[in-house]
Structure 1
């Protein structure tokens, strides 16, 4: 550690917050963990255990306002994000906020406008697929039109089982939100409409029922997403681009493949952490470098707002079975 290290506070000591606290302490250069804030004192204490000089706080706002905190990571539940983000923007410190930016486009737009009023991008949204080596290579291929123009994207987002309390709305707001952002990023186009279909003639309230989400884009590329959070076999995220002269798939079979006793096979990860660990590490390391210079290096608050608007349209499409247009506010010049 040096005097120039970015002093980072983490808000939220659940699974994501604790994982990020460990990442900052163990695997990043140029940063050190100084505080973890969570209303649950026991969880906050666990998150800083073994980290010299890092303290636990029960008031998350106290982390943002602390004089020894240069930047914050927000990994608390989405409904708590808006006041935390506004406090960080007001203080003028960089933020890496796990998705969602906020749970709805209205509150997300308030964060965007507060940041735009200050004239600096301070808020980065944690869409980690933008840092995954496979997705980065796919974006390079599509941007260069190596296989001609992109025509379609086929995506799948599968979890072995849904956690307790996981609702049908969360299929969109907690899972497909990643495909909304990834699509905008890969194609460089805004999303224009969304439709949702599932088995049966009426919308199901069973979050374990697979759904098919169709996304329309400003560039005319159609995107379909299979969302299935009760697949049973493991965690899998895939994206296949269909172009004029070829296709490209990311998220296929990875890791070691074995051939033994007349069989071949490999493994499927159990959750998102091993699958995207490299992406998380790269995302955080680049954010640290940018934050030390007072900025961000990733998805902006505007990207978070656009994802929230897509989620709102997606939930409406899910509930009604209708095609719902995605409408965005006027984009501030800061995000041009």
Structure 2
């Protein structure tokens, strides 16, 4: 494709509006053409901010429009299946914000539909795979310089979630899902078991909401992952990740940015670590570069006729883990993660 990728956005809440600004002003090779949202007044107001952008009331009409090449879906998860299926039917390259869908069954249907279509079209919005520090961490882990990775520790904190509809299960499905993908990305393997534990809740949480939560993943290769998710920490948006390997550790996001490392030196002594930065206010600030890099990679790949980054399968696998996690949240017991046989999917034979 030599012309700009013509993009439509479905869902113009906080994330969708942020992506509209990104596509209009910071992404090369893309042209924002249309937006759609059930709140038509909000969609029209957003469209009016950009020259030549129109509002389309029905998101499925946006997908089918002749002047749309690709669709960025930032709508609520419960409508993703219908919208992604429409994109697949019309051959639109798709960047779908997490979660892919609300349950593993519907996510698997999307994987199967894409496979039947004969070519990949879907990228899922796990932007941490594009964050420069996470990319460096992945490269260090894969290099083998620190030996085999044994443990992964994650911290995921938001300042507050005032929305009374954000319940305990959403902490698993909408927040923890990022760490699910990080674990799969860094280990390069699937999660086989999840346990979600519930400490005493903060008084800042809505009544009946279990916050914070601590999740433990067991990886198929035997590694373990611990994750604290605390969505009403009152401090700021704080995301950290520490990889523990046989000959050292690497931490992403210590005090807000950069890598902190401790490792064996030539004489066997531990080397010094570095840290610095501040705690940002929200995810758009913390992962601004990651979002830009993610969308740019999606646009570039779509123009080449390719898909890069997290796939529909990655979205399905993450949803399956979170579905098991919601079961564990209620029982406090480990729950096995059962995934479909990837080799038996349509189009893989």
Q: What TM-score bracket applies, with the shorter chain setting the length?
A: over 0.9
What is the CA–CA distance in structure 2 between the aligned matches of 1:266 and 1:89, rounded to whole Å?
A: 42
Closer/same/farther in 2, CA of residues 272 and 210 from structure 1, 3 Å limit: same
What is the CA–CA distance in structure 1 between the aligned matches of 2:222 and 2:155, rounded to whole Å?
A: 20
2:117 is matched with 118
What is the CA–CA distance in structure 2 between the aligned matches of 1:208 and 1:111, rounded to whole Å?
A: 31
Deviation, 1:11, is 0.3
1:305 is matched with 316
Deviation, 1:253, is 2.1
Closer/same/farther in 2, CA of residues 115 and 243 from structure 1, 3 Å limit: same
1:261 is matched with none
Q: 3-state DSSP class of the match of 1:299?
A: coil
2:220 is matched with 218
Closer/same/farther in 2, CA of residues 305 and 255 from structure 1, 3 Å limit: closer
What is the CA–CA distance in structure 1 between the aligned matches of 2:128 and 2:200, rounded to whole Å?
A: 32
Deviation, 1:270, is 0.8
Q: Using the TM superposition, name which of 294-303 and 28-37 deviates more.
A: 294-303
The RMSD of aligned alpha carbons is 2.1
Deviation, 1:50, is 2.5
What is the CA–CA distance in structure 1 between the aligned matches of 2:289 and 2:162, rounded to whole Å?
A: 24
Q: Gaps spanning 5+ residues in structure 1: where?
A: 257-264
Q: 3-state DSSP class of the match of 2:211?
A: coil
What is the CA–CA distance in structure 1 between the aligned matches of 2:348 and 2:41, rounded to whole Å?
A: 40
2:193 is matched with 193
Q: How many residues align?
A: 326
What is the CA–CA distance in structure 2 between the aligned matches of 1:325 and 1:49, rounded to whole Å?
A: 49
Deviation, 1:206, is 3.6
What is the CA–CA distance in structure 1 between the aligned matches of 2:257 and 2:232, rounded to whole Å?
A: 23
Q: 3-state DSSP class of the match of 1:170?
A: helix
Indicate conservation of the 8 Å contact 1:192/1:218, yes or no.
Answer: yes
Deviations 1:95-152 (A, max 9, x none): 0000011110000011111000011110110000000001000000111121111110
1:274 is matched with 285
What is the CA–CA distance in structure 1 between the aligned matches of 2:307 and 2:329, rounded to whole Å?
A: 34
What is the CA–CA distance in structure 1 between the aligned matches of 2:306 and 2:79, rounded to whole Å?
A: 23
1:83 is matched with 82
Q: 3-state DSSP class of the match of 1:253?
A: helix
Closer/same/farther in 2, CA of residues 255 and 196 from structure 1, 3 Å limit: closer
Deviation, 1:266, is 5.3
What is the CA–CA distance in structure 2 between the aligned matches of 1:290 and 1:40, rounded to whole Å?
A: 31
Indicate conservation of the 8 Å contact 2:94/2:122, yes or no.
Answer: yes
Q: Using the TM superposition, name which of 139-148 and 246-255 deviates more.
A: 246-255
1:167 lines up with 2:167 in the alignment: yes
* TM-score where L is the length of structure 2: 0.89
What is the CA–CA distance in structure 2 between the aligned matches of 1:156 and 1:68, rounded to whole Å?
A: 42
Q: 3-state DSSP class of the match of 1:8?
A: strand
Q: Gaps spanning 5+ residues in structure 2: where?
A: 259-275
